[in-house]
Each structure stands twice: as structure tokens, then as C-alpha cells.
Amino acid sequence: MAPPLRIGIAGLGTVGAGVVRMLARRKDDIATRTGRKVEVVAVSARDRNRNRDCDLSGVRWFDDALALARDPDIDVFVELIGGSDGIAKAAVEAAIEAGHDVATANKALLAHHGVALARAAEAKGVGIAFEAAVAGGIPIVKTLREALLGNRVERVSGILNGTCNYILTRMKDEGLSFESCLDQAQQLGYAEADPTFDVDGFDTAHKLALLASLAFGVQPDPEAIHVEGIRSITLADLDAADELGYRIKLLGVAARSGEAVELRVHPTMVPKHWPIAQVSGVTNAVAVDGDAVALTLVGPGAGGDATASAVVGDLCDLATARPRAVFGWPAVNLRPAGKPAIQRHEGGYYIRLAAVDRPGTAAAIARHMAEQNISLESIMQHRRGRPHGGDRADSAEDPAPVVLITYATTEDAVRRAIAAIEIDGVIASPPQVIRIEKD
């Protein structure tokens, strides 16, 4: 049997302690299956005296994560500190410099500094494993980096933030407002006190940056992503989507667009029959459309156990083989993702307008759409006030909503049409525009 793989873990929160427990619990099977013991030999955290419910006897303690990262008696440095900069970044750099493989759950670090870190790691001949950084326990990194190499990937899309999916699911199922559901998510610990990072789409964008790199060979770059969150989604939208055969999900989408890759995070209408449409609550899902196979992977996107499972899977890989290129393509070959150009996005649109109730309104709306060569697949005039329960009764005083579904057009055309409609004064409030994702 090969010598043990010696693990140093920096950060002993829920995930770090979970990794320690999982490696202890599964040590015999892991040794049998990988041909090597995988042993935690050193750890680092802020408070040595905190009770973490994991056995650290015989494990060396470091107060300083940097010192652990440089320790010559570890083989793999596991970074579970978090944060895109500061000590997490310094420690990963130090571990690479010391010739250690790295495993991390830190999406922010890799989304912002992935190219530089991957170059450094590949120059040193070490790996950075990050299955835990995207969609928790779902093995999407491995799938894109290894299993689908026969495919030219055309699109990767995913529900990558459990908080948002929980809120959208509750809103729809129970007729509650965004605010009530956010409140409940916070009480259940699914959302932070400051929910911005989740509900405004930034967390999804970090994960999407990593998926795009794996799928298309572009440099991870959050700046290249068009990002919208879910705060604007109302019950009226969720109900209209349902009637029209769709669900509304916060999706991260990376899609090939000629030589470029279109990267966007926004509330999206997806056909109800898509597997991804049926994913509810905090569960995550990722769909990959390749030229040979289309896959959907569904599973837990967060939580100590799921994330620890991903870290341990990575450690078992490092125990058995030299790592591949960090993002699946040598870092020097990664090309810039380019700037977001959402104006050039092509697809169908859902447009909900609070139309004022006077003659000529419908004609004005239709004329401005036609002027932009936008063809309408359907027009739905909602009855006023459709209280099905919950917060739905709130909508009883809204102006008459008109819902339009367009055939494929461009973002630019939609924006011009809406600007013209707004100037006409036939709508009472800013319109809601939701992009539709189709096969």
C-alpha cells in the first residue's frame, strides 16, 4: 500500500469538522478503495478551545493557517477559511509554493483569482481541487472536467443558490411575497442576515464563472457575467409562468454564442417539463447540454455533509492520481471570457406590463412591439385580483396586468420596445421582463 496521504485542514467550521469526521468514519473503505490511507495530520482554526465534535487527538494544531500551508509534513492543504482575499488567498498561494496539492470549497477565491492560482499550481505541478465550490455535493466539476470530454458543450445552466430556489419555491407554493419568504429563509438559516450576496445573484455568478471555465475553457471572471437577482419577482409573475407552462428559477447560464460565451445570472422562465424546473426548495441542479449528451444533475448545493462529501471525493482523487489541469484546460490556454453583452442576447421573453385601463393601450403596446420586429407567441390579459391565498390578495389593487410572450428576439429590441411603451404613458409602473430559456 502506498504511504498515507497527509491532509492539513485550515478552517474547522461545519465543513471542516465534517471532513475530519467523514475521513475518520470512512477510513477503512477509503483505504481499501484508493489503496492509500487518507489521514488528517494537521489543522488550523481561530479558536483551539471550541468544541467541534470531531476527534483531533494526534493531529497537530496550527494557530496560523499560513504556517500550516507551508508545513512540509502535509501532502494536501484543504482551504476552508473562505473569502476571496486575505488569509485564504495567502494560504493557498503558500501551499502551492510549498508544492502541496490544494482542495478548497472557496468559490469567491477561485472566481476572482482562479487564473493566477491555476497558473501557479500548474507551474508547480500541483492541483487545486474544488468540487465543493460549485453546487455542493453534486459532482459537476468532475463531470465537466472528466466525464464529458467527448462533448462540445453548448450550454451549462443551473440552480446554484439554494436560498433563492427556496424563496421562489415557497412564494409559488404558498402564495407568499418575496419578503415573507426571505424572512422565513433567514429564520431557518438558509439566508444570511444580509441576503444581498444570495438574492442579488452574486453567489450564483461566482459558481457560474467556475462552470463556464470548465465547460468552455474561458478564464473565470465574475465581471464577465450579467447579473440580476430575484427581488423583482412577484406572485403575479409566478402565477403567470405557471399558466403558461413555465417555472421561474434563478439560473446561471453559460452558453456558447459564436466564438464567445454568453454568461448571465437572472430569473429565468424554464419549461415545466425540464428536470431543472422541477427542482424545489434548497436543492441545486445543473444541466449540461453537449453535442452528444444532455445531462441534469440534482442534489444538495450546500450544507456541511454535502460539502464535506465533495471535499473528501477530491481528496480520494488526489490519493490515486496526479491532478489534471485546475479548470480542465491548462491555465495558459484559458481565453478571456469577454465582456457581458446582454443586449445581444437572443431568446424569447416574458413581459408583464401594468397597462392603464384606457382605449388604445393594447394597440400602442402591439405597435411598439411590431416596430422592433418582435413577434408575439401569446398575449394574456389577467383578471384583476386573483387571490389564491397567502400574499396573493395584495395584487387585487394592481392595474390590469398584460403578459406578453415573445418569439425569439434580441434583448436590444425588447428594451427599445419597452422604452417606447413607457414614453407613451400606457403603463402604470416599470415593466417586468424575464428571459425564457428553451431547448
Q: How far is the CB of 305 from its own copies (least distance, A)?
A: 4
Q: Which of 3, 58, 72, 150 binds its own copies (CB under 8 A)?
A: 150
Q: Which of residues 31-60 bind its own copies (CB under 8 A)?
A: 32-35
**Residue 267 lies near its own copies (rule: CB under 8 A):** no
**Residue 290 lies near its own copies (rule: CB under 8 A):** yes
Closest CA to 44 of 22, 26, 20, 75: 20
Question: Packing angle between helix 304-320 and helix 27-34, nearest 10 degrees?
Answer: 30
Rounded to whole angstroms, what are the CA distances from 8 to 1, 40, 402?
A: 21, 6, 58
CA 301 distance to own-chain centroid: 9
DSSP alpha helices (H): ranges in 84-149? 86-97, 107-124, 140-142
Question: Packing angle between helix 107-124 and helix 86-97, nearest 10 degrees?
Answer: 20
**Residue 296 lies near its own copies (rule: CB under 8 A):** yes
| Cβ atoms of 227 and 251 closer than 8 Å | no
Pairing assessment for the beta strands 38-44 and 60-62 based on DSSP bridges: parallel
**Residue 137 lies near its own copies (rule: CB under 8 A):** yes
Is 207 a residue of the active site? Answer: yes
How far is residue 109's CA from residue 94's CA, in Å, rounded to a whole number? 14
Q: Smaller CB distance to its own copies: residue 328 or 347?
A: 328
Q: Which of 56, 98, 298, 354 binds its own copies (CB under 8 A)?
A: 298
Name the CA radius of gyration of the chain, rounded.
24
Q: Which of 11, 16, 267, 328 binds its own copies (CB under 8 A)?
A: 328
DSSP alpha helices (H): ranges in 126-266? 140-142, 162-174, 178-187, 196-199, 202-216, 235-244
**Residue 27 lies near its own copies (rule: CB under 8 A):** no
Binding mask 188-227 for its own copies (x = CB under 8 A): -----------------------------x----------
Q: Smaller CB distance to its own copies: residue 118 or 433?
A: 118
Catalytic residue among 89, 172, 207, 249: 207
List the catalytic residues. 207
Give the binding site for its own copies (CB under 8 A): 22-23, 25-26, 29-30, 32-35, 131, 136-139, 142-143, 146-152, 217, 273, 275, 278-280, 290-300, 305-306, 308-313, 316-317, 320-322, 324-325, 328-330, 333
